[in-house]
Amino acid sequence: MLLLDVISADYLTFVTKENLRNTKIYWDVAGVSSALFSIETCGRVDIVFTTNFNHVFYEVRLGDCSNRCTTIQKVVSNNTESTLTTVYLNPLKCSSYGDVWISWDNTTYRLEVGTGHVLHQDVFVAMDNMDNNAIVERMTIQSSLSAKWKIGKFLARVSR
C-alpha cells in the first residue's frame, strides 16, 4: 500500500508503470471537496472515495465498458450496491492527457464528474444520493494499465 498525504501540495505528478498496474494509491482528502485529474492511459481508472462511515464508499470508473463509458456508484461493504449510473463518455485518452474534475460536496451530498479545468462546468455524470453526514476522508486511485497522472486540488470552491 502506498499512502500519499499531499494536502499541502497543489499538484502531484507520477506514473503507474505496466508492471505495477492494479497498485492502489491512497490520498488523504479530509477537508478537501474536489480534485483535478489529468490522466493519460488506454486502460480503465478507478477512483474510490472512502467516507467516515466504515461500510460506505463511492466509486467512479473512467474508461469502463471496454473504454467506452464512465460509471459512478455507491457501494456498501456488505456488497449492497446502488444502481450503477452509466454515461457513454470516456474522457481518457491513450496519447494525450484527458482532464477531469471530481467534486464531492458534503453539504449537498452530491458527487459530480466533469471534463476540463473549471469546477462544476461540463458535468457529465453525477450522483445525488450520498449519505447524509457522510464525509469523504480518503481517495483511492487505481489503473488497469500503465498511466500518467497529474492530480491537483481546488483550494477554493468555484461558484456555480
Residue 143, beta-bridge partner list: 45
The answer to whether residue 103 sits within a structural domain is yes
User: Which pLDDT belongs to residue 30?
Assistant: 80
Would strands 25-28 and 2-4 be described as parallel, antiparallel, or unpaired? parallel
The answer to whether residue 13 sits within a structural domain is no
Neighbours of 158 (CB within 10 A): 12
Of 30, 3, 5, whose CA–CA distance to 137 is shortest?
30
Sorted by sequence, the CB contacts under 8 Å of residue 107 that are 6+ apart come out as none
User: Which pLDDT belongs to residue 90?
Assistant: 93
Q: Output DSSP code: residue 101.
A: E
The answer to whether residue 98 sits within a structural domain is yes
User: Which pLDDT belongs to residue 142?
Assistant: 85
**Helix (H, G, I), strand (E, B), or coil: what is residue 136?**
strand
User: Which pLDDT belongs to residue 57?
Assistant: 87
User: Which pLDDT belongs to residue 83?
Assistant: 72
The answer to whether residue 159 sits within a structural domain is no
Positions of the chain with pLDDT lower than 50, given as ranges:
1-9, 154-160
pLDDT in tens, 122-142: 999 998 878 877 788 888 888
Radius of gyration of the chain (CA): 14
CB 22 within 8 A of CB 142: yes
Residue 28, beta-bridge partner list: 138
The answer to whether residue 39 sits within a structural domain is yes
The answer to whether residue 105 sits within a structural domain is yes
User: Which pLDDT belongs to residue 10?
Assistant: 57
How many distinct structural domains can be found in the chain? Answer: 1
Q: Domain residues for 122?
A: 2-6+22-153
CATH of the domain at 26: 2.60.120.200
The answer to whether residue 66 sits within a structural domain is yes
Q: What's the grid cell of residue 109?
A: 451530498
Helices (H) and strands (E) in the chain, counts: 1, 14
